[in-house]
Amino acid sequence: MISSGAIPFVKANACGNDFLIVEGVDADTNLPGLSKKMCDRRTGIGADGVEWLFPDTEADIHARLFNADGSEAEISGNGTRCVAAYLCSKDYREKIVVRTGAGLKTCMLISRNQRHYEFEIAMGKPEIGEELSIPLAAKSVKGVQVSMGNPHFVSIVEEFPLHWQAEAAEVGHYPGFKDGINVEFVVVENQSNIAVRFFERGVGETQSSGTGSCASAVATIAAKKAASPVNVRTVGGTQTVRWDREVFLAGAADLIFHGQFLV
Protein backbone atom coordinates (compact mmCIF):
# COMPACT_ATOMS: atom_id res chain seq x y z
CA MET A 1 0.00 0.00 0.00
CA ILE A 2 1.06 3.57 -0.61
CA SER A 3 0.11 6.70 1.34
CA SER A 4 1.52 9.26 -1.09
CA GLY A 5 2.23 9.54 -4.78
CA ALA A 6 -0.15 8.76 -7.62
CA ILE A 7 -3.14 6.41 -7.48
CA PRO A 8 -4.16 4.91 -10.83
CA PHE A 9 -7.90 4.88 -11.51
CA VAL A 10 -10.44 4.22 -14.24
CA LYS A 11 -13.56 6.34 -14.47
CA ALA A 12 -16.71 4.52 -15.58
CA ASN A 13 -20.32 5.44 -16.17
CA ALA A 14 -23.54 3.44 -16.01
CA CYS A 15 -26.61 5.40 -17.14
CA GLY A 16 -25.17 8.64 -15.80
CA ASN A 17 -24.17 7.11 -12.46
CA ASP A 18 -20.37 7.60 -12.41
CA PHE A 19 -17.74 5.71 -10.46
CA LEU A 20 -13.99 5.51 -10.01
CA ILE A 21 -12.52 2.01 -10.16
CA VAL A 22 -9.34 1.67 -8.09
CA GLU A 23 -7.18 -1.30 -7.16
CA GLY A 24 -7.07 -1.43 -3.37
CA VAL A 25 -3.33 -2.15 -3.35
CA ASP A 26 -2.78 1.40 -4.63
CA ALA A 27 -4.44 3.10 -1.64
CA ASP A 28 -3.69 3.90 1.97
CA THR A 29 -5.93 2.63 4.77
CA ASN A 30 -8.11 5.75 4.92
CA LEU A 31 -10.54 4.70 2.22
CA PRO A 32 -13.37 6.98 3.45
CA GLY A 33 -11.22 10.12 3.39
CA LEU A 34 -9.52 9.27 0.13
CA SER A 35 -12.83 8.40 -1.54
CA LYS A 36 -14.31 11.74 -0.50
CA LYS A 37 -11.32 13.61 -1.95
CA MET A 38 -11.38 11.70 -5.22
CA CYS A 39 -15.14 12.11 -5.69
CA ASP A 40 -15.17 15.88 -5.14
CA ARG A 41 -16.33 17.45 -8.42
CA ARG A 42 -14.39 20.67 -7.83
CA THR A 43 -11.11 19.66 -6.22
CA GLY A 44 -10.99 15.96 -7.16
CA ILE A 45 -11.89 13.82 -10.15
CA GLY A 46 -15.62 13.80 -9.58
CA ALA A 47 -17.85 10.74 -9.11
CA ASP A 48 -20.84 9.36 -7.23
CA GLY A 49 -18.58 6.82 -5.56
CA VAL A 50 -15.39 4.75 -5.59
CA GLU A 51 -15.29 0.99 -6.10
CA TRP A 52 -12.15 -0.27 -4.34
CA LEU A 53 -11.08 -3.68 -5.65
CA PHE A 54 -9.44 -6.45 -3.61
CA PRO A 55 -8.62 -10.12 -4.26
CA ASP A 56 -11.20 -12.71 -3.21
CA THR A 57 -11.03 -16.49 -2.94
CA GLU A 58 -14.66 -17.15 -3.95
CA ALA A 59 -15.25 -14.39 -6.48
CA ASP A 60 -13.38 -12.77 -9.34
CA ILE A 61 -13.03 -9.63 -7.23
CA HIS A 62 -14.14 -8.07 -3.95
CA ALA A 63 -15.56 -4.56 -4.47
CA ARG A 64 -15.99 -2.15 -1.54
CA LEU A 65 -18.09 0.87 -2.42
CA PHE A 66 -17.57 4.26 -0.78
CA ASN A 67 -19.99 7.09 -1.55
CA ALA A 68 -19.01 10.65 -2.45
CA ASP A 69 -19.31 11.70 1.21
CA GLY A 70 -16.93 8.94 2.35
CA SER A 71 -19.60 6.63 3.78
CA GLU A 72 -19.47 2.95 2.85
CA ALA A 73 -22.48 1.42 1.07
CA GLU A 74 -23.46 -2.21 0.76
CA ILE A 75 -23.78 -2.26 -3.02
CA SER A 76 -24.48 -0.30 -6.18
CA GLY A 77 -25.99 -2.18 -9.09
CA ASN A 78 -24.55 0.35 -11.52
CA GLY A 79 -21.20 0.36 -9.74
CA THR A 80 -21.03 -3.43 -9.85
CA ARG A 81 -21.70 -3.29 -13.60
CA CYS A 82 -18.84 -0.81 -13.98
CA VAL A 83 -16.56 -3.16 -12.04
CA ALA A 84 -17.54 -6.01 -14.37
CA ALA A 85 -16.76 -3.85 -17.42
CA TYR A 86 -13.36 -2.97 -15.97
CA LEU A 87 -12.50 -6.63 -15.33
CA CYS A 88 -13.75 -7.63 -18.78
CA SER A 89 -11.52 -4.98 -20.38
CA LYS A 90 -8.48 -6.49 -18.68
CA ASP A 91 -9.32 -10.15 -19.27
CA TYR A 92 -12.27 -10.90 -21.56
CA ARG A 93 -14.85 -13.15 -19.99
CA GLU A 94 -18.61 -13.59 -20.25
CA LYS A 95 -19.31 -14.29 -16.58
CA ILE A 96 -17.93 -12.20 -13.73
CA VAL A 97 -18.67 -12.76 -10.03
CA VAL A 98 -18.26 -9.73 -7.77
CA ARG A 99 -18.32 -9.88 -3.98
CA THR A 100 -20.19 -6.87 -2.60
CA GLY A 101 -21.36 -5.85 0.85
CA ALA A 102 -24.69 -7.44 -0.15
CA GLY A 103 -23.13 -10.77 -1.15
CA LEU A 104 -21.90 -12.35 -4.37
CA LYS A 105 -23.37 -10.91 -7.58
CA THR A 106 -23.05 -12.65 -10.95
CA CYS A 107 -22.70 -10.40 -14.00
CA MET A 108 -23.38 -11.93 -17.43
CA LEU A 109 -22.01 -10.13 -20.47
CA ILE A 110 -24.69 -9.37 -23.07
CA SER A 111 -22.58 -7.40 -25.56
CA ARG A 112 -19.40 -5.39 -25.96
CA ASN A 113 -18.42 -2.66 -28.40
CA GLN A 114 -14.99 -1.21 -27.62
CA ARG A 115 -15.44 0.60 -24.25
CA HIS A 116 -19.22 0.08 -24.14
CA TYR A 117 -20.56 -2.98 -22.30
CA GLU A 118 -23.99 -4.44 -21.57
CA PHE A 119 -24.44 -6.75 -18.59
CA GLU A 120 -27.28 -8.46 -16.77
CA ILE A 121 -26.73 -8.89 -13.04
CA ALA A 122 -28.47 -11.34 -10.74
CA MET A 123 -29.33 -8.98 -7.87
CA GLY A 124 -30.90 -11.48 -5.48
CA LYS A 125 -34.31 -11.67 -3.83
CA PRO A 126 -35.93 -8.39 -2.72
CA GLU A 127 -37.55 -7.77 0.64
CA ILE A 128 -40.70 -5.64 0.55
CA GLY A 129 -42.17 -3.89 3.59
CA GLU A 130 -45.59 -2.45 4.37
CA GLU A 131 -46.69 0.94 3.10
CA LEU A 132 -45.50 3.81 5.30
CA SER A 133 -46.47 7.46 5.55
CA ILE A 134 -43.44 9.62 6.35
CA PRO A 135 -44.22 13.00 7.93
CA LEU A 136 -42.33 15.93 6.42
CA ALA A 137 -42.27 19.60 7.35
CA ALA A 138 -45.03 20.54 4.88
CA LYS A 139 -46.73 17.22 4.02
CA SER A 140 -46.39 13.47 4.29
CA VAL A 141 -45.03 11.06 1.68
CA LYS A 142 -46.36 7.52 1.24
CA GLY A 143 -44.19 4.70 0.04
CA VAL A 144 -42.82 1.23 0.74
CA GLN A 145 -39.46 0.05 1.94
CA VAL A 146 -37.63 -2.33 -0.38
CA SER A 147 -34.30 -3.97 0.40
CA MET A 148 -32.01 -4.97 -2.45
CA GLY A 149 -29.21 -5.68 0.02
CA ASN A 150 -29.33 -1.95 0.71
CA PRO A 151 -32.36 0.07 1.90
CA HIS A 152 -34.81 1.94 -0.35
CA PHE A 153 -38.01 3.94 0.12
CA VAL A 154 -40.11 3.92 -3.04
CA SER A 155 -42.95 6.40 -3.51
CA ILE A 156 -45.27 5.96 -6.52
CA VAL A 157 -46.63 9.35 -7.59
CA GLU A 158 -48.80 10.78 -10.38
CA GLU A 159 -46.05 13.27 -11.26
CA PHE A 160 -42.70 14.21 -9.78
CA PRO A 161 -43.10 16.79 -7.00
CA LEU A 162 -41.85 20.25 -7.93
CA HIS A 163 -39.24 20.15 -5.16
CA TRP A 164 -38.79 16.38 -5.05
CA GLN A 165 -35.12 16.62 -4.08
CA ALA A 166 -35.97 18.48 -0.86
CA GLU A 167 -38.72 15.98 -0.04
CA ALA A 168 -36.41 13.05 -0.74
CA ALA A 169 -33.71 14.56 1.49
CA GLU A 170 -36.24 14.84 4.33
CA VAL A 171 -37.33 11.24 3.86
CA GLY A 172 -33.70 10.11 3.79
CA HIS A 173 -33.08 11.75 7.16
CA TYR A 174 -36.30 10.54 8.80
CA PRO A 175 -35.37 9.31 12.33
CA GLY A 176 -37.13 6.01 11.73
CA PHE A 177 -34.48 5.13 9.15
CA LYS A 178 -31.57 4.89 11.57
CA ASP A 179 -29.01 4.08 8.85
CA GLY A 180 -30.49 6.48 6.31
CA ILE A 181 -32.23 5.31 3.15
CA ASN A 182 -32.15 5.68 -0.62
CA VAL A 183 -35.27 7.41 -1.94
CA GLU A 184 -37.04 6.90 -5.28
CA PHE A 185 -40.03 8.71 -6.75
CA VAL A 186 -41.74 6.65 -9.47
CA VAL A 187 -44.18 7.69 -12.20
CA VAL A 188 -45.89 4.74 -13.88
CA GLU A 189 -46.19 5.28 -17.64
CA ASN A 190 -47.74 1.91 -18.48
CA GLN A 191 -47.42 -1.78 -17.58
CA SER A 192 -43.93 -1.99 -19.08
CA ASN A 193 -42.38 1.43 -18.43
CA ILE A 194 -41.74 3.58 -15.37
CA ALA A 195 -39.84 6.85 -14.91
CA VAL A 196 -37.78 7.28 -11.74
CA ARG A 197 -35.87 9.96 -9.87
CA PHE A 198 -33.20 9.02 -7.32
CA PHE A 199 -31.82 10.56 -4.14
CA GLU A 200 -29.09 8.34 -2.71
CA ARG A 201 -27.54 8.06 0.73
CA GLY A 202 -24.17 9.76 0.89
CA VAL A 203 -24.52 11.26 -2.59
CA GLY A 204 -27.78 13.14 -3.11
CA GLU A 205 -29.51 13.34 -6.48
CA THR A 206 -28.08 10.95 -9.07
CA GLN A 207 -28.95 10.43 -12.71
CA SER A 208 -29.52 6.74 -12.14
CA SER A 209 -29.26 3.91 -9.63
CA GLY A 210 -29.07 0.19 -10.28
CA THR A 211 -30.45 -0.99 -6.96
CA GLY A 212 -32.88 1.94 -7.00
CA SER A 213 -34.15 0.85 -10.42
CA CYS A 214 -34.63 -2.67 -9.05
CA ALA A 215 -36.43 -1.44 -5.93
CA SER A 216 -38.67 0.84 -8.01
CA ALA A 217 -39.61 -1.94 -10.42
CA VAL A 218 -40.27 -4.39 -7.57
CA ALA A 219 -42.49 -1.91 -5.70
CA THR A 220 -44.44 -1.11 -8.87
CA ILE A 221 -44.91 -4.78 -9.79
CA ALA A 222 -45.94 -5.63 -6.20
CA ALA A 223 -48.54 -2.86 -6.37
CA LYS A 224 -49.86 -4.44 -9.61
CA LYS A 225 -49.17 -1.25 -11.54
CA ALA A 226 -46.62 -2.93 -13.85
CA ALA A 227 -45.54 -6.40 -14.97
CA SER A 228 -42.09 -7.93 -15.35
CA PRO A 229 -39.95 -7.06 -17.24
CA VAL A 230 -40.03 -3.32 -16.57
CA ASN A 231 -38.07 -0.65 -18.43
CA VAL A 232 -36.84 1.92 -15.92
CA ARG A 233 -36.36 5.33 -17.52
CA THR A 234 -33.95 7.62 -15.68
CA VAL A 235 -32.30 10.95 -16.42
CA GLY A 236 -29.14 9.04 -17.38
CA GLY A 237 -30.71 6.31 -19.52
CA THR A 238 -32.87 3.19 -19.42
CA GLN A 239 -32.31 -0.10 -17.63
CA THR A 240 -34.46 -3.22 -17.67
CA VAL A 241 -35.51 -5.08 -14.54
CA ARG A 242 -37.11 -8.51 -14.56
CA TRP A 243 -38.38 -10.23 -11.45
CA ASP A 244 -38.43 -14.03 -11.60
CA ARG A 245 -38.08 -15.19 -7.99
CA GLU A 246 -34.93 -13.08 -7.85
CA VAL A 247 -34.33 -9.75 -9.55
CA PHE A 248 -32.19 -9.29 -12.67
CA LEU A 249 -30.87 -5.90 -13.78
CA ALA A 250 -29.74 -5.27 -17.36
CA GLY A 251 -28.04 -2.14 -18.59
CA ALA A 252 -24.96 -0.47 -19.98
CA ALA A 253 -21.56 0.42 -18.54
CA ASP A 254 -18.97 2.59 -20.26
CA LEU A 255 -15.29 2.95 -19.44
CA ILE A 256 -14.61 6.67 -19.90
CA PHE A 257 -10.93 7.32 -19.18
CA HIS A 258 -8.05 6.33 -16.93
CA GLY A 259 -5.64 8.55 -15.06
CA GLN A 260 -3.76 9.09 -11.83
CA PHE A 261 -4.88 10.91 -8.70
CA LEU A 262 -2.08 12.73 -6.89
CA VAL A 263 -2.04 12.40 -3.12
**Residues spanned by the domain of 237:** 127-244
Find out whether 48 and 206 touch, Cβ atoms under 8 Å: yes
**Same domain, residue pair 177 and 192:** yes
- Please choose, from the candidates 12, 2, 3, the residue with its C-alpha nearest in 3D space to the C-alpha of residue 236: 12
Q: Tens digits of per-residue pLDDT, 66-113?
A: 999 999 999 999 999 999 999 999 999 999 999 999 999 999 999 999
**Same domain, residue pair 57 and 158:** no
Q: Does residue 21 belong to any structural domain of this protein?
A: yes
Q: Tens digits of per-residue pLDDT, 210-258?
A: 999 999 999 999 999 999 999 999 999 999 999 999 999 999 999 999 9
Find out whether 166 and 137 touch, Cβ atoms under 8 Å: no
**Same domain, residue pair 105 and 143:** no
Looking at the structure of the chain, the number of domains it has is 2
**Same domain, residue pair 227 and 257:** no
**Same domain, residue pair 163 and 106:** no
pTM score > 0.75 for this model? yes
Q: Does residue 1 belong to any structural domain of this protein?
A: no
